[in-house]
Amino acid sequence: MPQPAVFLDRDGVLNQEVGYIRDVENLNLIPGVARAVRRLNDRHLFCCLVTNQSGPARAYYSMEHVNHLHRRLTHLLHEEARAVLDAIFVCPYLSPPEGGVDPNFSRWSTWRKPNTGMLVAAAWDYDLDLSSSFMVGDKATDIDLARNAGCRGILVETGYGRRVLSGDYQHETQPDYQAENLVDAVEWILDKKRSGN
């Protein structure tokens, strides 16, 4: 039977939003997120990172650098709470009109949020049921992705979340739940799972 998943954006949800992270040491977790992910692990909910990372397309740094960032991220999660991400999906692509300059990554992609490619690929690879899954993000495009893929969308107030809610960033959106942070989002998800909704 296909299983539900919790899809997590990276910057502003798991780690502090500091812009493009050129130094690996500048990736640091938001307080409480490791324990929140561990709670999902303990409930056997599939945890999947889905993140737009246009740094390679903008020629800011290499894809190997992105991989180093994710090694640090997974290390910090495990070190703090023995928390685990079951899968990581990254979209390094950006079309030239949007600012892509590296020919290896400058293209339009169905993986770039709010397109559904990363979620569809995850569902295919891991037998996931998108209709019973959740997407947690700090941008309106994360909520758009949830809508496009048939998931429930949760907007956290960390990262860009407060700016989205104030109308100062991206566009207006209507999440299924507005959470203070990932800890709050996970509590809502687990409540929904307990109630069978």
Which positions are annotated as active-site residues?
Answer: 9, 11
Please, are residues 93 and 109 in contact by the beta-carbon 8 Å criterion? yes
Token duo for residue 9: 């954006």
Q: How far apart are CA 90 and CA 71, in angstroms?
A: 13
Residue 49 amino acid letter: L
Q: How far apart are CA 89 and CA 50, in angstroms?
A: 5
Q: Calculate the dihedral angle through the C-alpha atoms of 77, 80, 81, 84, rounding to the nearest 10 degrees.
A: 20
- The 8-class DSSP code of residue 93 comes to -
> What radius of gyration do the chain's Cα atoms show?
16
Phi/psi of residue 185, each to 5°? -60, -45
- The 8-class DSSP code of residue 180 comes to S
Residue 124's contacts (CB-CB under 8 Å, 6 or more residues apart) are none
> Measuring CA to CA, how many Å separate 130 from each of 63, 70, 71, 79?
28, 24, 26, 30
